[in-house]
Amino acid sequence: MEKQSSEELSIENKSAGFSRVEKPKVAEIQLQLLPYDVLRDILSRLSIKDVVRMSTLSGEWRQQRICHPDLVFTKDTFGISTDPDPDFTKTINAIIRDTDAKRASWTAEFIFNVESVLRPLWSTSTTTTTTLDKFAVEFGLRRKHKYYIDRWVSFSIASRAKHIAFDFTFDVDCAGPGCDQYKDVFPLCKLSGPSGSCVTSLVLGYVWLKLPPSFCGITNLRKLTLKTVSISEGDLQCLLLSCALLEHINIEWCSPLSSLRIGQELCRLQYLRVRRSELEMLELHAPNLTKFEFDEDLAQIVLSDCLRLSEATFVSNMRTQEFNDYDFDDLAFTFTELALPHVQKLFLLLNLDQVCSRK
């Protein structure tokens, strides 16, 4: 074997010496020196999934207590697989038990992960170290998870989030009035008054809304979406009237509703969508309404003073049927009962392939 040259030995010794020198904690030093706004900007350029992964792996990031401006928690955020993969060799009861056990495991994993992200951001039990633009939880939570739901609602308010969503319609295994017992009674009162003054957009799914007498509205709410929400006609009317700045309302699969009459003027309302809610009668005054979407459940519609209504869209609940299967006599009766004298365009979505329009 050839002898190493003196130059090679020198390089080798230097490398060995460098390896023994403790490397400075560059990442930690940089994080401590960078301004808060710069760190926040770095996080905002990443997906929430990447931020969660980075926070898990890096203690330095956790110590900074800096949060992504949009916290959107779904099963995909944490890579939770929700495929039940049933064993069809078992009995029906055994399959149901297995599915329930898996669902409980998914939910426990989801709650643990959300708590792991939020826990470092609490400075006290009622205040946080961060401000958010959006806070969303989209998972199949139920009334038995109320402790965490209420805690996360409090966090979203304390962080002054503008856009809040608690959509629990994922993996719904029970629908209808008999399933109200599984829905969380959502603490809407926490958003009422000054505490919810930052909220401009609210999405609620698979919850039960009961307005307390002290409810005084969500001051700056402009966009409201209710999906599979249990709410009485009186509470819905009170909710809409108490949010004076509402511009966009979306109501779908809500119950038990048969009619909605609002005598007072919704002067800011521009968009209204009512679908799959068995709401037979709708009457409201919205002078600035421009777009309206509805289905055949609405047998009577009275939109008084809607002089700016430029577009109305009828979406049939039987769109999966063949076009020739429609009972056009019933459809004609539906439209003779409508009071849309000022609409400029009426779109009829009758099945998946056809859109009929009348100008």
18 in a domain, yes or no? no
- Highest average pLDDT, of 86-90, 98-102, 126-130, 353-357, comes from 98-102
Question: Is residue 221 pLDDT above 90, yes or no?
Answer: yes
263 in a domain, yes or no? yes
Q: Buried b / exposed e across 41-66, counting CB within 10 Å, b at 16+? A: ebbeeeebeebbebbeeeebbbebeb
Q: Give the model's pLDDT for residue 26.
A: 45
273 in a domain, yes or no? yes
17 in a domain, yes or no? no
Whether residue 205 is found in the same domain as residue 59: no
Single out the residue of 159, 254, 255, 249 nearest to residue 199, CA to CA.
159
Whether residue 83 is found in the same domain as residue 219: yes
Whether residue 112 is found in the same domain as residue 243: yes
pLDDT digits (tens, 9 = 90+) for 285-326: 889 999 999 887 777 888 877 778 888 888 877 655 555 555
Question: Which amino acid makes up residue 263?
Answer: G
pLDDT digits (tens, 9 = 90+) for 124-168: 666 666 788 999 999 999 999 999 999 999 999 999 999 999 999
Q: Give the model's pLDDT for residue 256.
A: 86
Asked whether the beta carbons of 321 and 309 are under 8 A apart, the reply is no
Whether residue 52 is found in the same domain as residue 87: no
Q: Buried b / exposed e across 261-278, counting CB within 10 Å, b at 16+? A: ebeeebebbbbbbbbbbe
Whether residue 79 is found in the same domain as residue 225: yes
Number of independent structural domains in the chain: 3
Whether residue 35 is found in the same domain as residue 90: no
Q: Span 175-184, mean pLDDT?
A: 79
What DSSP character marks residue 3?
P
Distance CA 266, CA 280 (A): 20
Q: Are strands 184-185 and 134-138 parallel, antiparallel or unpaired?
A: unpaired
Whether residue 51 is found in the same domain as residue 90: no
Calculate what percentage of the chain has a pLDDT beyond 70.
67
Asked whether the beta carbons of 340 and 312 are under 8 A apart, the reply is yes
Whether residue 41 is found in the same domain as residue 147: no
8 in a domain, yes or no? no
* Per-residue confidence band for 231, with pLDDT thresholds at 50, 70 and 90: very high
Q: How many C-beta atoms lie closer than 10 Å to residue 326's C-beta?
A: 14
Whether residue 106 is found in the same domain as residue 244: yes
Q: Are strands 300-304 and 338-339 parallel, antiparallel or unpaired?
A: parallel
State the pTM of this model.
0.79
For 39, the domain range is 27-66
How many angstroms separate the Cα of 275 from the Cα of each of 25, 250, 254, 257, 323? 57, 8, 9, 12, 20
What single string gives the DSSP state of each residue in 151-182? Answer: HHHHHHHHTT-SEEEEE--TT----SGGGGGG
Residue 3's Cβ-side half-sphere holds a number of Cα atoms within 13 Å equal to 2
Question: Is residue 80 pLDDT above 70, yes or no?
Answer: yes
- Domain edge (last residue) among 215, 235, 257: 257
- Domain edge (last residue) among 232, 257, 282: 257
Q: Are strands 201-205 and 223-227 parallel, antiparallel or unpaired?
A: parallel
44 in a domain, yes or no? yes
Whether residue 97 is found in the same domain as residue 243: yes
291 in a domain, yes or no? yes
pLDDT digits (tens, 9 = 90+) for 255-286: 888 888 888 889 999 999 998 887 888 888 88
Asked whether the beta carbons of 174 and 142 are under 8 A apart, the reply is no
Whether residue 234 is found in the same domain as residue 115: yes
Whether residue 106 is found in the same domain as residue 156: yes
Q: Span 232-258, mean pLDDT?
A: 93
- Domain edge (last residue) among 257, 279, 311: 257
90 in a domain, yes or no? yes
How many angstroms separate the Cα of 84 from the Cα of each of 80, 138, 348? 12, 18, 38
Question: Is residue 27 pLDDT above 50, yes or no?
Answer: no
